[in-house]
Structure 1
Amino acid sequence: MSKFKNNSQLIKKLYLSSCFEEIYYLKPGNVSVKSPILGMEKKKFYRAAEISGEILSNKNIKLGKSIFLACKKCMTELNTNYNLGIILLTAPIIKTAIEGFISYNQIRSSISKKISEIDKQDGTYIFEAIKICNPGGIKNYNGKANINNDFAKNYSFQEIMKIGAKHDRISRCYYSIFQEIFEFGLSYLTTTKKKFSKEFSTQCLYLKYLSKDPDSHIQRKYGHCKADMIKKKTFWISKKIVLNESKKNKKKIKELDNYLKKTHTNPGTCADLTVTTLLIDKLTDIVTTSGLNKI
């Protein structure tokens, strides 16, 4: 029997642990306890995790509505978008876990089923959540999948995710059933955490995401050219540091953080992907070991 089925408290604990770890570790350009961003309060990130964790782990609230309610309450209390990307990415995973899976192979297929079940009402809730949070740069996009256009109403949620997948990594996760995480990030984290500390492994994972594809948050705000430039810059830095947890390499991570912070360039989507990978990793650890010692 699945250890997760109807176990909202366990799943919420894993979610909060993933959020708190990610906010604690320094991630170049992104907010952390060790390197804040002007105007973003670290206490509010913790509070955003608590608010969203309580709602997303409620087994009686459907996926779309839980995303909407979590975003609405976070915005009402905190008055700023602190965690839309995290909510969007982790919600289907949390809902799937609550329904229960008993093997690693079942996790992704269960998530696929959950996403395929998103109906018109669920999709409307999700799009309203995005509108409420108004993520940076979203008004710069004016394609067919623009949720602010009446034209988008002609498409199902899944069709809009397919269109958005071409330029947005969160949409791509929904469309590809989290391919980027299951076939790239998760295996990378599994390997690195055997060799390095939890913090350095998480930093390497974040840098790998940032050097793999343009960050969607940066691309929305500043365009493809800048997002691609940051990707290439991170690729060469990442290539040099990922095999050695040394003071020299930690200094390089800090230098990249300083550079991105000075240019107000926040790879927010890569941070969201990192949190989601940490959560799936915790879930798979429990599934594969059938024990709770990894929580």
Structure 2
Amino acid sequence: MADAEQIASAFIAACADELAAPKPGNVHIYAPGHGMEAADFIASAKAAAPHISAPGARVGARISEAVEATWTRVGCNTNLGIILLCAPLAHAASRAGEGSLDEKLARTLEALDFSDADLAFRAIVRASPAGLGAAPQHDVAAPARVSLREAMALAADRDLVARQYANGFSEIFGMGREAIRRARERGHDRETTTLLLFMTYARHFPDTHIQRKFGEKVARETLTRFQEAASLIDAVDDRDSMFRIALELDRSLKKSGYNPGACADLTVAALFVDYLLAILPNVHKNG
């Protein structure tokens, strides 16, 4: 198991890494976007970290306290999806006993209950994510009547973050870990590795943040644009060319107000897992 200070440091590092790459349509150090700047996200990460890593805290409490701390610090929703993904990962990393991180995560997800759901629902309402709307059943504005994992499973077909709760974070431990491995094998630096990780998600999934806000047609069209840009990036091997291609798409997406936030959330979670695997003492680190 990792201690709270290690987990908090890993969380902040993952958030900083995500901002250091020119992820098209998202906020990063090369360009602001959607009324926010990279400094807002760094401040959010530092505010949320002690609550994400709180010793002995249930997942719902980690989520609730981290969202509240973020709002106190920056006054807007910068990191709800990141918190929803990283809270159970942090809980898993802090579990004592044998097992790999993904095995401990499975036990964490199985143990989620009504109280976790209720606290998470309140946090989601507090954050007021774009395109939240209302659900026909188990609406987050109402008291929880199912466990957090069950609630997330019901939203899995329309939300990439919720889908991870339903499938055991398979896109994080599978696709994400593999993208990081491939980038490192090619000798890419941390920032380029992060860009390639993000593009892996963005070329495979219509971003559900865009879909909620602008509709399925726009999400599908944006997916096609990401696939075209990813193919161009695949054809080059130097950082400058990759970043130039990414920044061209970045300017175009931001002009339309399109923010692939769900893919960015998955990127942070995969980076967080990578840091956690480096600090966990368990020898079974393959996730």
TM normalised by structure 1 equals 0.89
Tell me which residue corresponds to 1:206. 198
- 1:145 Cα deviation (Å)? 4.6
Q: Which residue of the other structure, out of 255, 261, 265, is the alignment partner of 1:272?
A: 265
Partner of 2:111: 117
Q: Return the alpha-carbon distance in structure 2 between the equivalents of residues 159 and 98 of structure 1.
A: 23
Residues 1:260 and 2:253 are matched in the alignment = yes
**Among 6, 9, 12, which residue is 1:10 paired with?**
6
Q: What residue in structure 2 maps to residue 92 of structure 1?
A: 88
Q: Is the 8 A contact 1:165 1:171 kept in 2?
A: yes
Within a 5 Å distance, the mapping from 1:1-295 to structure 2 comes to 2=1, 4=2, 7-100=3-96, 106-139=100-133, 141-148=134-141, 150=142, 153-195=144-186, 196-242=188-234, 244-246=236-238, 247-287=240-280
CA displacement, residues 112-141 of structure 1 (integer Å, 9 cap, x when unaligned): 1101111111110011100000001111x5
Distance 1:146-1:63 versus aligned 2 partners, 3 A rule? same
Does structure 1 conserve the Cα–Cα contact (< 8 Å) formed by 2:24 and 2:249? yes
In structure 1, how many angstroms separate the alpha carbons of the residues matched to 2:77 and 2:52?
Answer: 17
CA RMSD of aligned residues (A): 1.9
CA positional deviation for 1:287: 4.7
Change in 2 beyond 3 A, CA 1:233/1:72:
same
1:244 Cα offset (Å): 2.9
**Structure 1 residues 240 and 145, CA, compared in 2 at 3 Å: closer, same or farther?**
farther
Tell me the amino acid that sits aligned with residue 201 of structure 1: T
1:101 Cα deviation from its structure 2 partner: 6.0
Q: Secondary structure at the match of 1:99?
A: coil
Q: Is the 8 A contact 2:95 2:104 kept in 1?
A: no
Alpha carbons 1:200, 1:245 under 8 Å: kept: no
| Aligned partner of residue 195 in structure 2, secondary structure | helix
Q: CA deviation at 1:193?
A: 1.9
The CA distance in 2 between the partners of 1:278 and 1:243, in whole Å, is 24
Measured in 1, the distance between the counterparts of 2:241 and 2:69 equals: 42
Cα deviation for residue 155 of structure 1 reads 3.4
Partner Cα distance (2:249, 2:179) in 1 = 21
User: Residue 255 of structure 1 aligns to which amino acid in structure 2?
Assistant: E
Q: Distance in 2 between matches of 1:48 and 1:137?
A: 21
Count of matched residue pairs: 281
Q: Distance in 2 between matches of 1:101 and 1:17?
A: 25
Distance in structure 2 (CA, Å) of the matches to 1:13 and 1:71: 18
CA distance in 2, matches of 1:222, 1:144: 22
The alignment-based identity, stated in percent, is 29
**TM (normalized to structure 2)?**
0.91
* 3-state SS of paired residue (1:138): coil
CA distance in 2, matches of 1:173, 1:243: 31
Identify unmatched segments of 5+ residues in structure 1.
291-295
**What amino acid is aligned across from residue 257 of structure 2 in structure 1?**
H
Cα distance in 2 for residues equivalent to 1:178 and 1:274:
12
